Amino acid sequence: MLAALFYQNVNLSGFEGDNKLAEQSSMDQYQQQRQEKLNKMIELGVDPYGGRFDDVIPAEKIKADFEDDKEGQRACAAGRIVLLRDIGKLMFVTLRDSSGTIQLGLSKKMLADQWPLCKLLELGDIVGAEGEVGRTRTGEITIWAEKVTILSKSLMQPPEKFHGLTDPDARYRMRYVDLWANPEVLERFRKRSEIVASMRNFLQERGFLEVETPMMQTIAGGAAAKPFITHHNTLDMDLFLRIAPELFLKRLLVGGMERVFEINRNFRNEGLSTRHNPEFTMMELYQAYGDYNAMMDLTEEMVTSLVEKHCDGMELPFGEMTVNYSGPWRRARYADLLKECAGVDIDDIEAVRAKARELEIGESHMDDAVVINEVFEETVEDTLIDPTFVIDYPAELCPLTKRSKADPRYAERFELFIGKMELANAYTELNDPKVQEDNFRTQLDGQEDTMATMDEDFVTALKYGMPPAGGLGVGIDRLVMLLTGATTIRDVILFPLLKPAARSEEE
């Protein structure tokens, strides 16, 4: 069913009965025609799946290096055929590689022995060609091929050339087509790679050491989330896929690694949305002798440097919003924002619960701190468009965070919001083993989930002494969304988790 999308722009939900059968029949016809051409290539003594092909120059470099007044310029290119015009004894083929496109000119006179092969080429085939570079009468830079090599025969018809692969569900399921059929998609993922590389460089230049911590853990710790469970056969024990690397990274602070970071994959057995994928990428770091103020300074400097390097200007579109990344960024207390947006005082819990009922939040069985946070999320978060550090969260929500000395009801924690979306979370880290153990026990007492377990080893590590520190986590997927203007997380994850295709069509 999905294969039909290779040759035309379709909507998966639009197929009914006979239409589905007709499309399947048409698809089979295209596949049969392509198989016949593959067989003819073999009859010509040509391997339709090629092999090593050296000295390839990126398409955009070929065009950039071309000089109009210089003779004898040659080039070798390879890529997928995305446009083909056959005008008898002359063919013009547009190749697309990871850098862009380049045109090939195929002439029967120049390619006499290979002309039968050239006539078998189709959209979607991957070919290589070498020859002299020049311009056509219309001014397009072109390689006039002296030799053509088939590198991979495509047995599937590519998307319709003017519209590409546009159905969102099909694009995510067939990213292998989406990337070359829609050049802007490849560019977005290239930009993602560059953003992550720049983040690494930024941190390494400031003395942070990149490390790796376990992705399979005996205790699901470091965040409040439902884990995925797996089983180790040899040891006959259940393990949890990491929901956060926090407790292992802090162990490294105890061990003397004073500045560490990890760009890690986390797994949370929770729902799907435009901002959530069960498998996601986080950059998490810890800095000895810092606090949450140091983390705010570091975060603002890092993100603004990424905007300056990878974006056009400091004002970027994000959906219907425009986000201004110019500093200094706003820092606002949690309680003040609650008062401003919800109209209730954080200390007046009856007023907060009344507001929750007004917002149709089922608050009756929730702890006070949870109700406060539910009201905050409903009334405040959608107002935070430009970068805003929300600071000083209720301490009950932050079991791993050091409390404020000025007012111990609050924790030295911030969340950074941009474009109505949480991007980063940071603490002044708790390093008192007795307080940490008490917080763990309080947290466990309020949970009915039997998987929740005290991390005794982490408490033991703290007893050896962990330096005061600041910690920070930044969602890489959401950061790339913001810097590329993608409004769904699926557009910045190469292979997002999706419902099975049959279920998607039924729903």
In this prediction, residue 10 carries a pLDDT of 33
Q: Which CATH class, in words, describes the domain spanning 59-152?
A: mainly beta
Known binding positions for Mg(2+): 415, 422
Whether the domain at 59-152 and the domain at 182-329+386-506 fall into the same CATH topology:
no
User: Within a 10 A sphere around the Cβ of 140, how many other Cβ atoms?
Assistant: 14
User: What percentage of the chain carries pLDDT values higher than 70?
Assistant: 91
Q: What is the torsion angle, in degrees rounded to the nearest 10, for the CA atoms of residue 281, residue 287, residue 291 and residue 295?
A: -40
Q: Has residue 470 got a pLDDT over 80?
A: yes
* CATH match of 182-329+386-506 with 3.30.930.10: yes
Q: Has residue 13 got a pLDDT over 60?
A: no
Helix/strand/coil (H/E/C) assignment for every residue in 107-136: ECCCCCCCHHHHCCCCCCCEEEEEEEEEEC
CA distance 165 to 162: 10
Q: Which residues in 436-469 are b (16+ Cβ under 10 Å) and which e?
A: bbebbeeeeeeeeeeebeebeebeebbeeebeeb
If you average pLDDT over every residue of the chain, what do you get? 91
Known binding positions: 415, 422
Q: Cβ distance 419 to 482 under 8 Å?
A: yes
Residues 6+ apart with CB under 8 A from 209: 257, 259, 260, 261
pLDDT digits (tens, 9 = 90+) for 166-217: 788 889 999 999 999 899 999 999 999 999 999 999 999 999 999 999 999 9
Domain boundaries defined on the chain: 2-45+160-180, 59-152, 182-329+386-506
CA distance 246 to 429: 10
Cis upstream peptide for 399 (omega within 30°): no
pLDDT digits (tens, 9 = 90+) for 220-275: 887 778 999 999 999 999 999 999 999 999 999 999 999 999 999 999 999 889 99
- Mean pLDDT within 358-375: 94
- Supply the pTM of this predicted model: 0.89
Residues 6+ apart with CB under 8 A from 261: 203, 208, 209, 210, 211, 283, 284, 285, 286
